[in-house]
C-alpha cells in the first residue's frame, strides 16, 4: 500500500490504539500493565487498513474542518500553556458528537496561526503516534523515569493543516 508522505510510519503505529495491547494509565512509580480488556492488533495489519481517527475518517484522509482557535493557557493543563489549540466541531460539514481538540502544529507558511477565539475553516488530515512514559518492571533492574507528572503511554493525536478557507460569518 502506498502512503502519502505525510502519513509515513508515524501514522501506522498510532493505529494500534484502536485495539492493540495498550498500557494502563499507571502512576509513574507503578509498572505499566497490559490491558486485558482489548483484543491485540498487530501493527503489520494496520499497513493494509487504516483506523478511523478522532475526526471520524481514516487517518491520513484530507477533510474540511470548522471550529475555533483556543489559547492553550485557558485549559488549566500545564502541557497546553503557550500553545494554540484548534477545537474542531464539524468535519466535511457534519457536526461531531463531541468536539475534538488538536494543537496547531503543522501548516504551510501561507496559513497564519489563528488567534484565540477566531473561527477556523481548514483542510487537514489527522495523524499520530504512540508515545509516553513507561516504567520498566523492577525485576529487570532498569532505572525507570523520574517521578514526573505525565499522561502515560497512549496515542497522541496530531493534525496537519493543508489550507485555510475563508471563514463564514
pTM of the predicted model as reported, rounded to 2 decimal places: 0.69
C-alpha 78/C-alpha 96 separation (Å) is 26
**Could you report the average pLDDT of every consecutive run of 10 residues in the chain (169 residues)?**
42 39 34 59 83 94 97 89 96 97 96 96 94 82 70 83 86
Q: What is the pLDDT of residue 169?
A: 65
Sheet holding 94-103, edge to edge: 94-103, 84-91, 63-71, 119-131, 154-164
C-alpha 5/C-alpha 14 separation (Å) is 16
Q: What is the pLDDT of residue 69?
A: 97
Q: What is the pLDDT of residue 142?
A: 84
Distances (CA, A) of 164 to 13, 64, 65, 161: 28, 9, 10, 8
Amino acid at each position: 500500500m502506498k502512503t502519502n508522505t505525510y502519513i509515513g510510519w508515524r501514522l501506522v503505529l498510532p493505529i494500534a490504539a484502536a485495539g492493540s495491547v495498550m498500557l494502563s494509565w499507571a502512576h509513574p512509580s507503578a509498572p505499566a500493565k497490559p490491558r486485558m480488556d482489548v483484543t491485540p492488533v498487530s501493527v503489520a495489519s494496520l499497513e493494509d487498513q487504516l483506523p478511523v481517527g478522532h475526526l471520524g475518517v481514516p487517518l491520513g484522509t484530507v477533510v474540511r474542518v470548522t471550529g475555533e482557535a483556543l489559547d492553550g493557557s485557558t485549559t488549566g493543563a500545564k502541557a497546553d500553556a503557550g500553545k494554540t489549540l484548534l477545537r474542531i466541531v464539524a468535519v466535511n460539514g457534519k457536526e461531531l458528537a463531541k468536539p475534538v481538540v488538536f494543537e496547531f502544529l503543522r501548516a504551510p507558511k501561507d496559513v497564519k496561526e489563528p488567534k484565540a477565539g477566531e473561527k477556523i475553516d481548514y483542510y487537514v488530515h489527522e495523524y499520530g503516534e504512540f508515545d509516553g512514559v513507561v516504567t520498566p518492571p523492577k525485576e529487570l533492574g532498569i532505572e525507570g523515569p523520574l517521578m514526573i507528572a505525565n499522561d502515560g503511554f497512549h496515542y497522541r493525536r496530531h493534525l496537519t493543516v493543508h489550507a485555510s478557507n475563508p471563514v463564514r460569518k
